[in-house]
Structures are given as C-alpha cells and as structure tokens.
Structure 1
C-alpha cells in the first residue's frame, strides 16, 4: 500500500508542476488606454486530424470584443499551431480580469488562463470599495514617489524638446529667406511652388489656399513696387497699383490689372462669403496670379548690371538650393531637439541613480513585475479540502485534476484539488494542493518532499540545493519546509535562471496539504511576497 501511495505522490507532484496546458494565453500589453484596442492571443498545438473551434464573442467578461481576427495556422512537423486573436477594449478605467475562454478541441472544452489588464489608472472609490483590515505600519522611504511624478518629468522633457525645435525653426525661417531669396520675384516664384506642393485645395482647404495665394501676390507688390499692399483692401490695392504704374512709367496692360483684381475679389468671396470655386477656376486663378507677378516684374524699369545677371541662378538651380538648405536646417533642428531630450533624460536618470541607486531607477522608471504584485491588491482565500487559508497577490486558479492525473493515481484518492498562479518560467509561481485518501495512510512528509523535488528536476532543474526544517503555523499545526535553489534550464530560449524555492507540506488525519513558492533568486520583492504568503498560512483540519 505504501508503495502505491508514494507512486501517487509522484503523480501528484507531476500534476502540480508539470501540467501541460492545452491553451497558451497572452495579451500584448498589461496596461492600456481607455478605448484603445489590445489583443488577447490564444494559441494551441494539435494534430492534423484535430478539430478546433474558437468561439465568436461580443464580450469577454467586462471587455468588449471589437475585432475577431482570423485564425493563423502554422504547420510544425505532424502538428498544427493555431493562433486566434481577439481585439478587446474598455471605456472605463480600472483593473480587469479577462476570464477563461472556452475552446473546443475534438469536441472537448478547454479553458484559457485568466489574465489581468489595467485600463488607465485606478480610481479609488472610498464609498464602494471593499473594506479590509488595517495593515501594520510600514516605513516609507522619503523621496520622490508616485507614478505621476515620472509622467510629469517626461512631459516636461518632451515639452522642452518641442520648444527647442519650434524656437530654432522660427529663427531659421527668416534666415533662410535672407540667404535664398535675393529678389522679390525669386521669393514669390519659390513660394508659389511651395504652395502647390502643399496641395491645400486638393485636401479641401480652399480658404487657406486662396489666403496664401493672395498673400504671395500682395507681399510681392509691396516689396517690388513699394505700396502698402498687405494692409490695403482689394480696391485700395488696385488703385494704388494704377497710381504707382503711372508714376514709375510701368507698361501695364488693362488685362493684367483686371486679372489680378478678379483673383483678389474671388479670394475675398472665398474667405468672407464661403464661396467654393470649381477646380478649373482654382487652377486658372493660380495661373493668373503667377502671370500677373511676372508681368509686373517685367514692367518695373530696372537696370541690372551685367555682373549681377551672371550671378543669378536659373529657377531650377534656385529651387534645388532652397530644398537643400531647408533639409539641412530641418535636420539640424531635429538633431538639436533630440539631443536636448536625451541630455535631460540622461541628467534626470543620473540624478536618481546617484541619489536613489540603480535598482530604484530600474524598479520605478522601467518597472518590475514582482514589485507590481507586491504593491497590488492582495486576496485572502481558502483553497481545497482540508482547507488552506492563504493570502496571495492574485487569486489562484483551479486546475482540473481529471485531465492531469492518470487513473492509477485517482484510484488512491477520495478527493483532490489543485490551485496555482503563474508557472516555473514566470517571475513568480505559487501552487496549493490538498488531497484526502480512500485508505488511511501514514504519510512520510520527508519522502513526499523528496518526490516533489525529483519531479522539479525532471522539468529542467539542475544543481539543486535542498535544505529542510520544521514549520509551524500560528495555530500550532506542524509540518516541514523544504527550501533552497536550483538552475532552471529553458531549452526553447537556450537560457538558464537561478530559482529560489520554498515548499510547505502538512499531513492531517490522512490528508495532505502542500504549498509551493518559486521565484528568481535575488528578487527582493519576490522575497517579500513569499514571506507575506508564508506568514498568512492557516490550515483547516481534515473533516472540519
């Protein structure tokens, strides 16, 4: 009988530590903005003959399904990897648990693992929030605290970078004009080409297009003919142009003045009367403005020295010069803005590293999974029979013993329940199991612990160090505690991790209760989680 019992312990440990999950569950982010989409991914590996049915859902728990993506199929030897994604969203802030989704594999239901996601920041409602016992007084480290401080610092740094970019751009604009535009006609021609490249009227921005078009013409007239064109009404501008033409003896035809006046009045209707010219009319108005500017420039009596004529670049060369200069200035603005942001980020990070230490910066700025677990909302629940009352950072999920235990093991037990959170490959892993046997048996906890540890070794643990001591709960129930370290080999990632473990085992009236905790060695937050869990353990006696 004892031989069969220890075989059962071996199988029990296999169920706790080596459960082969049919469905792999993941989300692309654990923190999301209100209304933004994030993806829930369900992955399973089946044979080529298996039939898998993913449900069509409108909601998963409190989250809305806004997109059900087609199933991706990847062939691997004689198996198929099926990947199903759901696009989810939520319009209320808070932390939500995505419940398990039922997938049918060969008509048998399988549940995905529940996962949690945080939508924006949690708002605490002191009237509706569940009340908990007052916690012990904790020592709070003085210094900068709260996520909003880091958000504020980030916003300030980005704002400074944006200001640097704007300031440089503003002061470069005039300099570019001074360097490139030698004459008013060059400036007007270049600005007309730039306006066309913006494609304003094609985008429906007709008012903005006419405003810039007429400003180019008015600015040219003011600079070349020296009349206050920018401040004049259309009538005043046309009258002033006629007067200046007669005074300067400019040979202007009535057609040129009429075309210019027609476009200016069309622009007035667009800007003030919400008129919408047709596409061919817009094109004609642009050509009239260009022709009017060229005609005015040719009509102005000037004497250009031969030397100056030789130095003038043709229009194509001038445009190339403008584009190259603009590109250089833009690149310079970007480099200086990025340099300013990088400098401020480096200075801020260095300050915190010097004053708070590297771990503080890593944990508070970059983030630490077990720190979030430790500082999150804990749950105290009872698991199994004989009951194990324990406080954990997350609710432990029930595991189906019928799917993970063979018939030989089930024949020895009257009742068995398994619960867990995470896995050996996660940052933190905890399991709780309880069992009641059909035949009374004197359980050797030391041998049961040894069987557990051998199973862990079969899952890739190497160089295991084992220590053992007695353990007593606050109610005086005694058991044993096994603890130590081992190296976990991950063949898929070709990597290894040093794991620290603690396993508690109790026997009561033929019943067995186990608690296992695993995390990366040296993780101080995980150590605090483990201590808090072990200090909270309370056991219910078998039969109660």
Structure 2
C-alpha cells in the first residue's frame, strides 16, 4: 500500500510541477523610479496545434499597463515558444504586488507567478538643481457668461442687417420715383391710385388710409408749392397755403382751401381721436383731396414742359414701377444678407481669436458644464452642522447611512448628505455633514485616508493625492486633498481621467465634507470648482 501511495504522490507532484512549468514569469527589475517602466515577461512552450490566448489588460493590480508588446514566436522543431511582454508603471511610491494573471492554453486557464516590486521616489538635489521663485498669478480675462448677452449680439446683428435693407430699399425707391415721376402731380396721382388698390379702409384700417391720404397731399404741396407741409400742423399748412397763393399769384377759390382743410381735420380726428367716419364720408374725402391737388396744380402760374414720357397712361407707369421694384428687390435682399453674414463671421472670428474655437463651438452646439457655469446659481445651507455653499444646481438629499459599517453607524448621531450627479457622471458635487453621539477629537488626515479608500473601492484607480490646508473667508481651517484618478468606463471600454477635490472640516462633535470631481481637461468645470469652493461658509456649532 505504501508503494502505491508514494507512486500516487509522485504522479500528483509531477502533474502539478508540469502545470506550473507551462508558464515562466519574469521581470526586468524589481525596483524602479516613479513613472519608470517595469517589463513583465511571460513565456510558454506549446506544440504547433495548441491555441494560446494572452489577455489585453489596462491595469495589472495597482500598476498601469502603458504598453502591451506583440507576441514573439520562436519555433523549436515541433514546438513553439511564445513570449509576451507587458510594460507597467506606477506614479506613486511604495511596494506593490504584481498579481497572477490568467493565460488560456487550449481554453484551459494557467496562472502566472506573482512578483513583488518597489517604486522609489526621485531624489531631488537642491544643491545642483536651480530653484526658481513662484510665478505670479496670471489674471484671467473676463467672460461674457450670460446667455442674454449672446442674444443681444445676435439681435444687434440682425437689426443692423434690417437697417441696411431698409436704407437700401428707401434709396432705391426714391431713385425709382425720381426716374418714373417727372412732375409732382404725376407722383400724387399715381400714389392716390395705388392707395385705392390697397383697399385699406375696406379692411378696417381707416387710420392707415387717412394717414397715407394726407401724406400724399402734404407731400405734393411741399414739392410743388415749396411749403414745409410735412412738418406743419393743419392750421399752419392752411395759413402757409393762403400766403403762398398770394405770393405766387395762384388763382385758388375759397372752396378748394376749405375742402382741403376739412379733410385734413377729419384725418386728425381719425388719427388722434379715434374717429370713425362712414364709408361715403371716406369716399368723399378721397375725392376732395384729389380735386384739391388737381386744382392746386392747375392754379400754379408756371409753364410745365410736357415731355413725351407724360403721355404714358397710368397703367404703363404702374407696370414700369413694378418691373423696377422687382429688379431692385433682389439687390436689397442680397445686400442685407451679405451684411448679416459678414457681421456673423466677424463676430465668430473675434470670439475664436479671443476665446478659442472650443468656446465658440461649445456656445453654438452646447456643453453641459458650460451651461452649468453660465446658469442661475443657488446659495443654500445644507446639513447639520450647516455648510453654506453656492452651487449651479440645488443639491438633492441622498442616503449614505447604508454604506457605513454597523460599528461606525453606532457612533453617528446624525448624518445628512446632499449631491448633484453621481460617481458615473462627468461632474459630481456632494456636501455631507456628520454629528457624533460623543464629543471626540477628529483626526482630519485619518478621515481623509478613509474617504480616499472609499473612492478606490468605488472604482477610482491610479490616484494621485496632494494635500494642503484650506481656510474659508471666515478663517475656519480644514484639510484639502486634490489630484486625479482614472475611472474605467464600462460602456466605452476605456479609461478616463478625472480631477477631484475633497475638503474636510472638523467642529465640536461634527465632521463636514465637500467632494467634487470632473473631467480633468474641462475648463468650465474648473471654473465651477473654484467658484463653489470660494463660496464655502460654515455655521459654527453652539456649545
């Protein structure tokens, strides 16, 4: 029996030894500087029909994989020797264990050996290395930051475009009128016919109708008789017309002047007193104006040269006006559009030069943290002992008591937590306050270590930690930790780097914590963090 027992042990030992020797693990050095590369080598020898799978890893334990080298293959008769190398690094000093990793040979897992490595600090020789003074703070250019300012700029650009269009239209219309109408009476007659074609008073626009009607009469008097009729009141116009008739020896009847005065006063009542004349009265007023204009024109003792163009009938004149208006309309639109496009391009170029392309792109397309920064901020007090803080959004209450161990929960009298976002979001902000059942001296550094360990347990990797004192405006001192860590995104199967800031305060029987993190390269989030932390105020506990 002993013979069989030893034989069985020999077989088992041989099989175990054979399994372990399927993989040979080695490393180029076990001690290196911060950020330097460790080369982990895994070798295996298999036959030509075996299938070997080496894993593609981002991290091996606490070390980051910075390079996964191609597999080297060496053929030895009927066998292959496969060599796989991983480049590893770590940016924090200390001793680390490179754990075993699984290598699959013919779908069967085999484990590599674990190796202990040491990462040492880089020694700085202050005698050889020249030291420099701390640079002054560079002032940041002020930003617009409010959406209404952008809206005002766009409205201003559109307003300038509309003004250019209106001015071009007015100038072209004036030019067309000068080309088509050779005499004031032609212009007045044509405009009266155009006014009737609009059918304003039939549509209920009586005020607009009388306004255009009297403007036609006043404009004719101003051009034909040289009286400032457009700026004069009705009484001043009639007085000036009587004086001009004497001065120019015009043969005007009293009835013509009275009819004109009556229509002008009726128009004043319609425009300023909301008078509503009857339909037949409107028709009579129009006829009186036309008759008064014709009478005035015939009474002017000036010989008007009749050219061949005056023989054109009214329909031909209207057609000629419409053709020229249509021809010029496209030019007006083109000028206005070109002006707006030029102003938009000039404005965008200005902001690209002064603020950068990303700022212009984020303003037009949108950016979540930019919208938070430029939105309406809220100042509120959270928890007990209270923390007064200014945030871009109201923080919502969350329950963290379930995450505490039972032993720690027994020491807590009251715990309140408020947050915006979550650990998986690109911007996260949390305010938490704790009151303990018994007064005790709280060690902020140990509390900070627990907080950082909690972050690592939630998926934070390769944490870089820096610490410094933090003082509020009221002079309350606390401890601040800041730095960066990597977070693995399950959806994109990639690792992203986040920047974090954690502040702890300790008061009588209480602990207050402020935590925020965001994407490391997000400049808008950096501005949010600075504004949030500079607004922190603490409510002192009463004894």
Pick the TM interval, shorter chain. Answer: 0.3 to 0.5
TM-score, scaled relative to structure 2: 0.46
Q: Which has the higher contact order (CA 8 A, sep 6+)?
A: 1
Higher Rg: 2
TM-score, scaled relative to structure 1: 0.46
